[in-house]
Chains A and B, each alone.
Chain A
Amino acid sequence: MTIVGKTKSSPGFVRSRWLLTGVLGIYFIYTFLPLIYVITASTKTNPDLFTSFGLWFSSDFHLWQNLSDLFTIQNGIFLQWLWNTFYYALVSGLGSAVFATFAGYAFAKYDFFGKKFLFALVLGAVMIPQTALVIPIFLLLSKIGLLNTPLAVILPSLVFPPGVFLMRAYVDEAVSNEIIDAGRVDGAGEFHIFSSLAFRMLMPGVTTVFILSFVASWNNYFLPLVVLNSTEHFPVTVGLAQWYASAVSGSGGSLLFTVVMAGALVSILPVIIAFLIMQRFWQGGLGAGGVKA
């Protein structure tokens, strides 16, 4: 937007600029309250957590001790949880991004029998309550002996319908029909056109779907809660929630309160940092999905 110098410095503009910035500033403080809390809480001793003010540090800086407790409790199971979370999210993210790209490409560039019906089915999938799916998945997995294995979390997470809508919209925009037709005229097969012409143009879209699916899997709680029962397979969400429950009910000893906070801090930092680095992709992707939907 080209704002002319004169209007920009007018008192009216400056006043409303400060006013609106102030409105955003208030919400910013609200957004960061829990994050400040988790940072200060993980630097405290457990007694200090109760006696010192929640949104500021206490005199005794206990972060390193809490972190060392976090990574040694129960034979260092927390590190295993972090790795599990990363591994499940990475495999589901990659798999669902690739499959969604294939499917989105088919929906965007071909006419075929049953297209509308199939797309409506994929679209309708978002309305299905989690319990309606996860409970039968639990029963079916137990029948084939996959319960309580990494695959029990990974395989269902490979189905990521929002990725399909997104890729359909993205393919529409990024790959012109002329390019595909030119490839056909040159005698290239449909897969050759896809792999050597289209896929490269789709990379930003694929990355976006990967990030969204990765985050969805990273944040998932209900599925792993139901299909896993041994602690060594837990992702961080299920593990920390279990520690939290035992801390609240007092059965795990009061030490756990600050350790749970340290665990929360360690588990959200990598994702927040990754988000900051890759913001170009998720912003574009959410935008495309929202505008097209």
Chain B
Amino acid sequence: MSETAVQRRPRRRIIVNKRIAPYVFLAPFVLLFVVFLIVPLIYAFDLSVFKSALVGGTRFVWFDNYKRAFTDANFWAGVGLLLKFGLMQIPVMLGFSLLFALILDSGVVYAKSFFRISFFIPYAVPAVIATLLWGYMYGPAYGPFSQLATAIGWPKPDFFNDNTILPSIANIAVWEYMGYNMIIYFAALQAIPTDHEEASLMDGAGAFIYALRIKLPMIIPTIIVTIIFSIIGTLQLFSEPYLMINLARNVINSHFTPNLYAYTLAFTGQQYNYSAAISFVLGGVVAVISYAFMLAANRGVNK
């Protein structure tokens, strides 16, 4: 290292100073970020303040599309449905993730790493394929649940009616993402320095209660982050209901979730302008709910 300082190099290197270097390092990412994120957003916003009509072509309409979105029952029905979905799915999923992470971390089970890896495997399965697999399993003709019910003389369960469609989709989401969140909790728990001596003196149940009382409060910031990411993911639900349309034609309509609505408006109705406004309002809803949750969580933690 010090040799380079003493001997002058034969070839001159491009020496970039400390001031300019960060901009050069950032340039490729920022360039792509601008081209594929900022520009499309600006373009979408631009779209959202215009309206195209068969007569008169495209004209500037200020915030008419937003006014329409704010009073659009189809859009708000979708948001309401997802809130219901989130209240059902997120606590179950994260509850399992946390429970299993605590169990694995406390070290009182057999085959720890076997379970840790097994539970993560669904994350490697694309949402499309997961929906496909569960769609088959839910099926009334060849689904194992229906087959089992028939075998013991029960009526076939219907996974695709008004009451069951949300739990049916929620189950797919829990199956997909439980392990992912569990790994995050597990890593956070492992990062806490523990008093080995103290823990070693406890029997199994004691160790688990120790984890619950002492360790759980220490990973609350991580839990808050996972809840926020789950809220964001939930409000963007698209693939699962979109793929299940054919299975549940009477229940899943074209505005079942806001993203499905925006997609339908754009690609079957060619209403790009209104679709863009819907997407922006959805973005606003996501931001408001995430922010409100963050405020509430911080207040709860600081109390």
Query: Does A54 contact B117, Cβ atoms closer than 8 Å?
Result: no
CA distance A38 to B144 in the complex (A): 12
Query: Does A276 contact B21, Cβ atoms closer than 8 Å?
Result: no
State the Cβ distance, B159 to closest chain A Cβ, in Å.
Answer: 14
CB of B232 closer than 8 Å to a CB of A: yes
A 39-53 binary contact with B (CB < 8 Å = 1; else 0): 001000000011001
CA distance A173 to B275 in the complex (A): 43
CA distance A230 to B109 in the complex (A): 51
Query: Does B290 contact A267, Cβ atoms closer than 8 Å?
Result: no
CA distance A260 to B24 in the complex (A): 47
Among B17, B41, B118, B147, contact of A132 (Cβ-Cβ < 8 Å): B41
Among B120, B185, B286, contact of A290 (Cβ-Cβ < 8 Å): B185
Which chain B residues lie closer than 8 Å to A291 at the CB level?
Answer: 187-188, 191, 222
Among A34, A139, A293, contact of B175 (Cβ-Cβ < 8 Å): A34
Which chain A residues lie closer than 8 Å to B96 at the CB level?
Answer: 27
Interface footprint category on B: 35 or more
CB of A155 closer than 8 Å to a CB of B: yes
Question: Given that A28-B119, A128-B37, A129-B235 are contacting pairs, would A21 and B137 also be in contact in the complex, using a CB cutoff of 8 Å?
Answer: no
CA distance A177 to B278 in the complex (A): 47
Which chain A residues lie closer than 8 Å to B280 at the CB level?
Answer: 132
Considering only residues 11-61 of chain A, those with a C-beta below 8 Å from chain B are 12-17, 20-21, 23-24, 27-28, 30-35, 37-38, 41, 49-50, 53-55
Query: Does B40 contact A4, Cβ atoms closer than 8 Å?
Result: no
CA distance A98 to B26 in the complex (A): 11
Which chain A residues lie closer than 8 Å to B132 at the CB level?
Answer: 240-241, 244, 260, 264
CA distance A24 to B102 in the complex (A): 12
Question: Given that A31-B175, A55-B144, A127-B287 are contacting pairs, would A118 and B266 also be in contact in the complex, using a CB cutoff of 8 Å?
Answer: no
Number of A-B contacts (CB under 8 A): 320
Which of the segments A67-75, A76-84, A183-191 contacts the partner chain? A183-191
CB of A231 closer than 8 Å to a CB of B: no
Query: Does A50 contact B208, Cβ atoms closer than 8 Å?
Result: no
Considering only residues 180-196 of chain B, those with a C-beta below 8 Å from chain A are 180, 183-188, 190-191, 194, 196
CB of B165 closer than 8 Å to a CB of A: no
How many positions in chain A have a CB within 8 Å of any CB in the partner chain?
116
Question: Given that A38-B133, A264-B129 are contacting pairs, would A241 and B259 also be in contact in the complex, using a CB cutoff of 8 Å?
Answer: no
CA distance A221 to B1 in the complex (A): 49
Which chain B residues lie closer than 8 Å to A222 at the CB level?
Answer: 238-239
B 130-174 binary contact with A (CB < 8 Å = 1; else 0): 101111110001111001000000000000000000000000000
Which chain B residues lie closer than 8 Å to A100 at the CB level?
Answer: 29
Among B1, B21, B133, B143, contact of A110 (Cβ-Cβ < 8 Å): B21
Please list 30 pairs of residues, one from A and one from B, whose beta carbons are closer than 8 Å in the complex, sorted by A's number: A1-B107, A7-B201, A12-B203, A20-B103, A21-B110, A31-B121, A50-B142, A54-B142, A54-B147, A100-B29, A112-B23, A127-B286, A129-B282, A130-B238, A132-B282, A132-B283, A135-B266, A136-B41, A136-B276, A137-B36, A140-B40, A186-B2, A191-B24, A215-B124, A221-B126, A241-B132, A257-B142, A264-B133, A282-B183, A290-B222
| B binding-site residues for A, Cβ under 8 Å | 1-2, 4-5, 13-19, 21-26, 28-30, 32-33, 35-37, 39-41, 43-44, 47, 96, 99-100, 103-104, 107-111, 115, 117-130, 132-137, 141-144, 147, 175, 179-180, 183-188, 190-191, 194, 196, 199-205, 208, 222, 225-226, 229, 232, 235-236, 238-239, 243, 246-247, 258-259, 262-263, 266-267, 272, 275-276, 278-280, 282-283, 286-287, 290
